[in-house]
Amino acid sequence: MKVCFKGTSEEISTLRNGLETATGSAISLDKGNCISEHHPTGATGFKKLQQILGTLVASDETYTVLFGNEDKHLYSYYDQATRTAGILRSEIGRAWYVGGSPLRCRFGGSARPFYSLPALLGHELLGHGSGQTTERGAIQVENLVHGALGEVPRCLPQR
Tens of pLDDT along 29-50? 999 999 999 999 999 999 999 9
Q: What is the pLDDT of residue 1?
A: 64
Burial of 137 (0-12, 13-18, 19+ CB in 10 A): middle
Percent of the chain at pLDDT exceeding 70: 97
Q: CA dist 130 to 24, 49, 102, 116, 137, Å?
A: 17, 11, 24, 20, 10
DSSP state of 131: T
Q: What is the pLDDT of residue 94?
A: 85
Tens of pLDDT along 116-138? 999 999 999 999 999 999 999 99
